[in-house]
Amino acid sequence: MMNISSAEKKERIAQATLLMIQKGGFAMATYRNIADESGFSLGSIQNFFKTQNDLYTFAMETIIKNGEARANALKLFASDVSVAEFYRLLYQFLPLDAERRTELTAWMAFVTRAASEPSLMEIARQMIKKNYSTLEQTIAFMQQCDLFNKHLAAKEASERLYVFLEGISLHAIVLPQQYTGAVIKEMVQHYVRDNLTK
């Protein structure tokens, strides 16, 4: 394997961890399986992550970073201020491609595990609060642009919307044949029309 930075090695290890969790839960996410998936030695992984909790923490943070990078790359509202652009933002929260499906499946596993791991719970709470804030700011922006109902309380609307998105994600992961990409997008658009637009 060609020389790569320590940061890139850690990123690859995190991605391998997410894949293992998606395939078989935490039982599959052993150092040995992650080493095989990532192509790095067992010693390398243990050098970066002294405990599995350290690895899981970094993997959760990687999911957050990946989501932010995808959202930034979209350059939302840069040239088009519309409800269609708002949909593009919402789609980033949903398992509409293999990468996001892997991340969301792992994220749900992490949140379940966080019930007994305070450090993981704190990351989960920070993520939820950050997403609330992003949606609240965007809903307020859409109201200022006269695209959403100005009588809505943006804070409450953002929280309800995020809970809705989380629910769709859960069902789409459990029932992928029923909740296809087209169905998911239709449900999101229906929700926005019924609850946010004028």
Residue 148 three-state SS:
strand
Nearest-CA neighbor of 93 among 195, 194, 188?
188
Domain topology for 53-195: Tetracycline Repressor; domain 2 (1.10.357)
The model's pLDDT over 32-44, given as tens digits with 9 standing for 90+, comes to 999 999 999 999 9
Q: Is-same-fold flag (1-50; 53-195)? A: no
Residue 82 three-state SS:
coil
Tell me the C-alpha distance between 125 and 127, whole Å: 5
Question: 89 near 71, Cβ under 8 Å?
Answer: yes
Given CATH 3.30.70, say whether it is the number of domain 1-50. Answer: no
The model's pLDDT over 89-139, given as tens digits with 9 standing for 90+, comes to 999 999 999 999 999 999 999 999 999 999 999 999 999 999 999 999 999
Residue 197 phi/psi, 5-degree rounding, is -75, 170
